[in-house]
Structure 1
Amino acid sequence: MQLYIKNMVCDRCILVIKEQLEKAGIPYNNVNLGEVELDKEPTPQQLEVLNKNLTAIGFELLDDKKDKLVEKIKNIIISLVHRNEDSNNKKLSAILEERLQLDYHYLSNLFSSQEGITIEKYSIRQRIERVKELLTYNELSLSEIANQMEYSSVQHLSQQFKKETGLTPTKFRELKENTRKPLDKV
């Protein structure tokens, strides 16, 4: 059995979910971004306790099939962007179709209707947040960041960054304050 959880965006989220599953007495096999593979079906009481505890810390159990699918799309994008998962130079649409075994047009329409933005826009926002993170570390040149993030050029990265943030990457790097967003708020 699978549980789907909204707002899981990082490895720390996975640790928190594991703790909550243990507190609720729900045995599990594996926890990934947005998904929990359970050993066995939990009781309604266990699910109620888990849901209450998750809601209190900003997570949400998903029941609706469409919500689960949108969360899967988000988690694939987050894995590709923030975990440097290799895309083998495939287009995002091809990756989503391959992993979810559904037509991209259906996925795109569903995502847009549920989230109010396109998959492409969501992906761009995630990429820009990752670029902000890399700029904040100040360990890589802009050219290295563009290459790592699979931008066609530094110019393309800079244009997209400025369009999303209102700043050039260089100006952002010079700022003392951190204007990055938590991934679940992107």
Structure 2
Amino acid sequence: MVEVIDDWIELGGKTIPRGSWVCLDEAYICSIQPDGSKEWNRGDRSLTTQRFASSVGGLLSHYGMSFADVGKRRTIMDSAVTAQLGYTQEGWDAPVTLANDFARYGFQITGSPKSSRAVGWQFMKQLLYAADRDGAPGLYISEFCESLWQTLPYCISDEKNPEDMEKTAPDHSADAVRYVLTAASQKQHGWRVPVGGCRIRIY
């Protein structure tokens, strides 16, 4: 869950400037080793769309929300979720996509807008750098975003293209944040709800 703050607020002992972004919480599923340790950059091969939708629904419920409260245009994923994988038995007018499969469980998704990956990373880096500096809007990450904390330090610049990220970096969580920032920077989203005396946008 990523939010943009529409007014100055106190959160976690920090004063966060208006216009800042906050990564509030996450639903992250990955492979688990026999000793219980998580393989952050390795997917769980047993994961289904139903199970993932249930996990996201549980996260929203924890914050008193549902899929209907957030809405399709504020639920951003990799644009690959809209790629056609085939057709159903109903005929050629019923393409199979991950987005359509998620929708069966009430989880409406919008694919991220097409844009330069490098531009998105640079925007995200600027926001991270700006956090806690002279009242400028920045990108803040809560302690609940465990996978982001575990993997973001390893998302380094590509030696051949410093403007972009190293292609082998563990970027799943960082990508999710980049998709939201890219969609919002293109002004595709503007949904606001009141929280704690200010107004925030939920993604």
TM range (shorter): under 0.3
Higher strand share: 2
> What TM-score comes out, normalization by structure 2 length?
0.26
> What TM-score comes out, normalization by structure 1 length?
0.28
Higher helix share: 1
